[in-house]
Structure 1
Amino acid sequence: MVLNRVRAVFLDLDNTLIDTAEVIKLLKSKYQYKEGEADIISEKVQVKFSQECYRESKMSITDLRISHWEEAIQETRGEMANRKLAEECYFLWKSTRLQHMTLSEDIKNMLTELRKEVPLLLLTNGDTQTQREKIEACACQPYFDAIVVGGEQEEEKPSPSIFYYCCDLLGVQPGDCVMVGDTLETDIQGGLNAGLKATVWINKNGIVPQKQSPVPHYVASSVLELRAILQKIDYISSVSA
């Protein structure tokens, strides 16, 4: 594969890397939660993570995320807040999440091959400490030319400014770059806001987007489809040039 028109590819980190299986087991075995309750709590927490505004919170990231577990348990069970249980869930989730954060051999190979043709940049939103822990845990640094964490910048995705910063790092123009991510509201909307060449939405679970959601240029069920999509983007760009 030789890419001539795509000058850089930005990839998001958090595409289904959060693992709550061990917490679900804890709630069922130690606290005798019903089958559905533990699953609902887990789902509620993941939604809260995706919507959190840690920049606007006066709490530390640890306290903020413990509060997510506390709220999810309270909302699901309809009982008094249980801070101790929320803390136990959070720290178990954090430790197991980091243990499970590994890049598959297929993804490592894909990134290695892609990087021979085009610069790759990891672009992730979130608190600096949290995101740097993830990056270290999955040992992804060798596969990217640069890593940008939203919490270390003035603005995060979907603000155009962070995309322009990434372009400056790699010495490329927005119109020559492709954004790849699993979140329409940040990854795809951000790429559109910044005027990138294309956006690729990784829709692993076959989600049907809401009508008002941003529309990506391409949709894939797996990031492993990226090489073929980039070839298509590059070909269309060369033909229309």
Structure 2
Amino acid sequence: MMENRRVLSIIFDLDNTLIDTAGAGRVAIQKVCEVLKSTSVPESHITDICELFLQKLFHGTFDPSEGRTINEVRIHQWYEALQEVLGTDPDLAMASSCYYTWKNTRLQALTLSPEIRSLLEELKKNYKLLLLTNGDAQTQRDKIEATRCEGLFSAVVVGGEHPEQKPALSIFSHCFESLGVQPHDCIMVGDSLSTDIQGGINAGVKATVWINSDGKSLPPGSVTPDYTLPSVLNLTDVLAQLT
């Protein structure tokens, strides 16, 4: 029967699934705070500036068709954060310094742990692995390069390089075609209920695996994953049940 076919492929999310992007972000913000302490910015305003940038980062949108690069957009977000908190027009060079300090520190802090690298190397022997990550193309490619993980996957799909991102069916269909598999041959592993788990369910994968490192409860009305794990390192337990 179709449902008894074994898993052939595992589709992995990147951020906060395989790498601790949130943790690296905290390190990067702390570094920016240290840099700002050596400037004319009042120390009492520094935390507010960084928090306002993070709000703009998480709630802003980026459209490459508008003609601006992601670097230009992020520098402008730092500029706005400085401007809104200080009440004056800041030096553009200060906004640029904040951005590149944040960007470079975050990339340096991103690592694929030896344990997760070893897990992927083992899984690669028996499954086709695919990395499916949402986000701006340059930003995500920089992370992939920084963590030296591309060689662990049969294919890497970056949402920003496609017309639609997770949870859209089109990008999952592209993944299945790239691997030469059917949806029910695959499982989707990720930390986001709204993109990874919802997308996997919409696409008809064999199972969805939610990486819930914070031990959060499922929000009311949320999509329900087939499996919930505290870490991707526990994935072999799920695979043993599925194959």
Common topology (TM > 0.5): yes
Q: Is the 8 A contact 1:49 1:68 kept in 2?
A: yes
- Is 1:171 the counterpart of 2:172? The answer is no
SS of corresponding position for 1:155: coil
Report the alpha carbon displacement of residue 92 of structure 1 after superposing the two structures with TM.
0.4
- Is 1:186 the counterpart of 2:195? The answer is yes
Q: Is the 8 A contact 1:28 1:34 kept in 2?
A: no
Name the CA distance, whole Å, in 2 between partners of 1:53 and 1:8.
32
Name the CA distance, whole Å, in 2 between partners of 1:79 and 1:193.
46
When residues 91 and 72 of structure 1 are mapped into structure 2, their CA distance, relative to the original with a 3 A threshold, is same
Report the alpha carbon displacement of residue 73 of structure 1 after superposing the two structures with TM.
4.6
- Is 1:106 the counterpart of 2:107? The answer is no
Moved more, 203-212 or 12-21: 203-212
Name the CA distance, whole Å, in 1 between partners of 2:53 and 2:221.
24
SS of corresponding position for 1:226: helix
Show CA shifts across 1:80-127 (max 9, x none). 453443322111011112212221110110101111121110111122
SS of corresponding position for 1:179: strand
Report what 2:43 is aligned to: 33
Report what 2:141 is aligned to: 132
Report what 1:13 is aligned to: 14
SS of corresponding position for 2:43: coil
TM-score (norm 1): 0.82
Q: Is the 8 A contact 2:10 2:186 kept in 1?
A: yes
Q: Is the 8 A contact 1:128 1:152 kept in 2?
A: yes
TM-score (norm 2): 0.82
Report what 1:238 is aligned to: none
- Is 1:95 the counterpart of 2:104? The answer is yes
Identity of aligned residues (%): 47
Q: How many residues align?
A: 229
Q: Where do 5+ consecutive residues of structure 2 fail to align?
A: none
Q: Is the 8 A contact 1:128 1:150 kept in 2?
A: yes
Name the CA distance, whole Å, in 2 between partners of 1:27 and 1:85.
9
Name the CA distance, whole Å, in 1 between partners of 2:58 and 2:225.
19
When residues 46 and 188 of structure 1 are mapped into structure 2, their CA distance, relative to the original with a 3 A threshold, is farther
When residues 205 and 80 of structure 1 are mapped into structure 2, their CA distance, relative to the original with a 3 A threshold, is farther
Report the alpha carbon displacement of residue 64 of structure 1 after superposing the two structures with TM.
1.5
Letter in 2 for 1:65: R
Q: Is the 8 A contact 2:197 2:208 kept in 1?
A: yes
SS of corresponding position for 2:127: coil
Report the alpha carbon displacement of residue 197 of structure 1 after superposing the two structures with TM.
1.6
When residues 46 and 116 of structure 1 are mapped into structure 2, their CA distance, relative to the original with a 3 A threshold, is farther
Choose the corresponding residue for 1:196, options 188, 192, 205.
205
Show CA shifts across 1:176-222 (max 9, x none). 21111122222122112212122222222234453243332222222
- Is 1:62 the counterpart of 2:71? The answer is yes
Name the CA distance, whole Å, in 1 between partners of 2:126 and 2:54.
35
Moved more, 4-13 or 40-49: 40-49
- Is 1:79 the counterpart of 2:77? The answer is no
Name the CA distance, whole Å, in 1 between partners of 2:225 and 2:49.
30
Name the CA distance, whole Å, in 2 between partners of 1:147 and 1:127.
14
